[in-house]
Structure 1
Amino acid sequence: MEAENHSLISEFLILGLSDDPELQPILFGMFLSMYLVTVIGNLLIILAVSSNSHLHNPMYFFLSNLSFIDICFISTTIPKMLVNMQSQRKDISYTECLTQIYFFNTFAGMDNFLLTLMAYDRFVAICHRLKYTVIMSPWVCGILVLILWTIMFWVSLIHILLMNELNFSRATEIPHFFCELAQVLKVAKSDTHINNVFMYVVTTLLGVIPMTGILMSYSQIVSSLLRMSSTVSKYKAFSTCGSHLCVVSLFYGSGFGVYFSSSVVHSSQRRMIATLMYTVISPMLNPFIYSLRNKDVKGALGELFIRVASCLSWIIDIRTKFMLRTLRQIL
């Protein structure tokens, strides 16, 4: 098949999870449900943190940012997949594919970095309690998040600029349910050596540096907890880390699963299943992990539901009074 310049390629074909027509309605309903649960759950976390003054601290600032990133992360891939399932089509335009790659890499990197910042926040809170408000001031937290956005903006942009120089064949098929960088590079018809080197270097740095930061933070936390004499103090200090450790285990566990599944087992189906873990399952479970294991978040969500219920009852009372008044005027 003849290779053509990227400017002549109008679309790619995404093979998706299954070609079976009978499975499409089941998959559509399942992924639509997971998408709605993810968006609603993370929105509730953001609203709970923003509406409760007791949660206006660095730990929950990073948590609300993580929830926002998770909404954006899953919205990069799932809506397009749902549209293709509903329309029974597999095409995605060249521009849409590059856009999907750009935002997917950006949000995946931000997820990675935010988990590291949350680990560092717990390290400072437990090991340097007296300096916590100075080290983790709102200004510092905002600057750190802004720096991370800037880093991922440029890293993702370089990926796109390098990809823009590649050639592809007509009706290029991508054996995935979205435009993943590694899979798109595999189907390119021109030399991808520079792209692959940059991808592996960036992936290694963005994986090793945050993971090292998390491990170092928790090694210091454990060391500090061992020096505490009170069991109650130990439990109280470490209980704030439980939810974060669950999220980190889920994110990195699924990420390593994708890596090993692609390097050990050469099966696109198994790679897609492993990718689903950190692109769909992880963002969906994060709100449940934090709401079920964190008393502060549970309390804030309870207050939020009470406010919403009172607002709804107030609106219903107003409408009922208005309807009764209207009926009296008519009669």
Structure 2
Amino acid sequence: MVEKNLTLIEEFILLGFSELPNIQEFLFVIFLIIYISILLGNGLIIVITNMEPALQIPMYYFLGNFSFAGICYTSVTLLRMLMNLWRQKRNISLLSCAVQLCFFLILAATESFLLAVMAYDHYVAICKPLSYPLIMNHKMCVQMVIGSWVTGIPVLIGQTYQVFSVPFCGSNKLNHVFCDMPTLMKLACGDTSGDEFFIYIDCFLFALIPFLLILFSYIRILSPILKLLSTIGRSKAFSICSSHLIVVCLFYSSDFIAYLQSTSSY
């Protein structure tokens, strides 16, 4: 057996925008404005949906939870990025990296499930309006929201543990702005085929299945909308669904660009 001297990695360096040293301050300001906008926009939605009596309906209850998940989701990555740009230090310990990855995965799964729940809510509201108060009662809404938040936790904690149970050796430079699984897998020693298999399983459970549920809901919604004789009713139904569809397209298209374009060097 050939022995190799391998230096085990104790921390990573997030390369981020290190190839652009002259505009670090500019990038900090840009991302700070983006982050403040996210906090103000989503925070305002949460406050309004909780304080306005007219908005105490399931659609806005789900929207408030989605906004809160959005704040948490972006805070996991943007806060660390802002800190790195401000300090000009990009090192992150293995533990901090694992915590960031775990929360990132859990919140991504939560947002995915909440989008599916919102699509189902639209389906019931448009296709079964008379049964809507009975189906989407308060107890059901709370259960669906809790399910969206906790369903992925045990699986994704286990996934994070599995990723970091593999030793990392060689280079400790992560070509990313935060700790993410595909980037970490490139630095892992030994056979990672098992980890990659479970990554695909996670993508199926927490991305593909919710997306298919959303797609199925809107296929079922489309026929009743087209049958509406009233132009006002049709435009109202489209307005209810359009904003949700835009968010769905942005959410899943960004994931597609980030994870399926693995051949790109950028």
Name the TM tier (shorter chain): over 0.9
Identify which range, 90-99 or 138-147, moves more after superposition. 138-147
Residue 41 of structure 1 pairs with residue 27 of structure 2: no
Stretches of structure 2 that go unaligned for 5 or more consecutive residues are none
1:102-123: CA deviation from partner (whole Å, max 9, x where unpaired): 0000111111111111111000
Counterpart residue number, 1:102: 102
Shift of residue 4, structure 1, vs aligned partner: 5.1
Distance 1:56 1:182 in 2: 41
Q: Looking at CA atoms only, which structure, 1 or 2, has the larger radius of gyration?
A: 1
- In the aligned structure 1, how far is the partner of 2:179 from the partner of 2:81? 11
Instruction: State the match for 1:158 in structure 2.
Output: 158
Match of 1:222 in 2: 222
What is residue 6 of structure 2 aligned with on the other side?
3
Which residue of structure 2 lines up, in the alignment, with residue 302 of structure 1?
Answer: none
Amino acid at match of 2:246: C
Q: What does the per-residue CA deviation read over 1:94-145, in whole Å, with 9 as the maximum and x for residues that have no partner?
A: 1100000000001111111111111110000000001111111111111112
| Residue identity in the other structure for 1:20 | L
Query: Is 2:170–2:187's contact at 8 Å kept on the other side of the alignment?
Result: no
Q: How far apart, in 1, do the equivalents of 2:151 and 2:170 lie?
A: 34
Aligned counterpart, 1:174: 174
Give TM-score scaled by structure 2 length.
Answer: 0.94
Q: CA RMSD in A?
A: 1.6
User: Residue 266 of structure 1 aligns with which residue?
Assistant: 264
C-alpha separation in 1, matches of 2:156 and 2:202: 10
Do 2:11 and 2:91's aligned partners in 1 also have CA atoms closer than 8 Å?
yes
Residue 209 (structure 1) aligns with: 209
CA distance change for structure 1 residues 208 and 192 in 2, over 3 Å: closer, same or farther?
A: same
Distance 2:222 2:236 in 1: 13
Contact 2:69 2:107 in 1 (8 A): yes
Change (3 A) 1:2 1:62: farther
2:6 partner amino acid: A
SS in 2 for 1:83: helix
Q: TM-score, normalised by structure 1?
A: 0.76
Matched, 1:233 2:233: yes
Matched, 1:191 2:194: no
Please state which structure has a larger fraction of its residues in helix. Answer: 1
Conserved? CA contact 2:6–2:169, under 8 Å: yes
Equivalent positions of 1:55-134 (< 5 A) are 55-134=55-134
Provide the rounded CA distance (Å) in 2 between the counterparts of 1:171 and 1:259: 22
Q: Secondary structure at the match of 1:12?
A: strand
> Could you tell me whether the CA contact under 8 Å between 2:152 and 2:206 is conserved in 1?
no
Give me the whole-angstrom Cα distance separating, in 1, the residues matched to 2:181 and 2:23.
Answer: 27
**Contact conserved, 1:4 with 1:167, CA < 8 A, in 2?**
no
Counterpart CA distance in 2 for 1:3 and 1:135 is 59
Deviations 1:52-73 (A, max 9, x none): 0111111001100110001001
Q: Distance in 1 between matches of 2:160 and 2:258?
A: 22
Compute the displacement of 1:207 (Å).
2.1
Aligned-pair CA distance for 1:226: 2.0
Q: Per the alignment, in what secondary structure is the counterpart of residue 169 of structure 1?
A: coil
CA contact (8 A) 2:163 2:181 kept: no
- Alpha carbons of structure 1 residues 188 and 2: separation in structure 2 relative to 1, 3 Å: farther
Segment drifting more, 165-174 vs 51-60: 165-174
Give unmatched runs, 5+ long, in structure 1.
Answer: 270-331
Distance in 2 (CA, whole Å) between partners of 1:237 and 1:193 is 46
Residues 132 and 4 of structure 1, relative CA distance in 2, 3 Å threshold: farther
Shift of residue 2 of structure 1? 4.1
Cα distance in structure 2, aligned partners of 1:44 and 1:159: 34
SS of residue in 2 equivalent to 1:120: helix
After TM superposition, give the deviation of residue 29 of structure 1 in Å: 0.8
Aligned partners of 1:3 and 1:167 also within 8 Å: no
The C-alpha deviation readout for 1:215-246, integer Å capped at 9, x for no partner, is 11111111111222222221122221111111
Matched to 1:159, the amino acid is Q
* Structure 1 runs (4+) greater than 6 angstroms displaced: none
Alignment of 1:237-316 (within 5 A): 237-262=237-262, 265-267=263-265, 269=266
C-alpha deviations, 1:187-224, integer Å up to 9, x for none?
11132222111001111232221111111111111111
> Any idea what SS the aligned residue of 1:65 has?
helix
| Partner residue, 1:308 | none
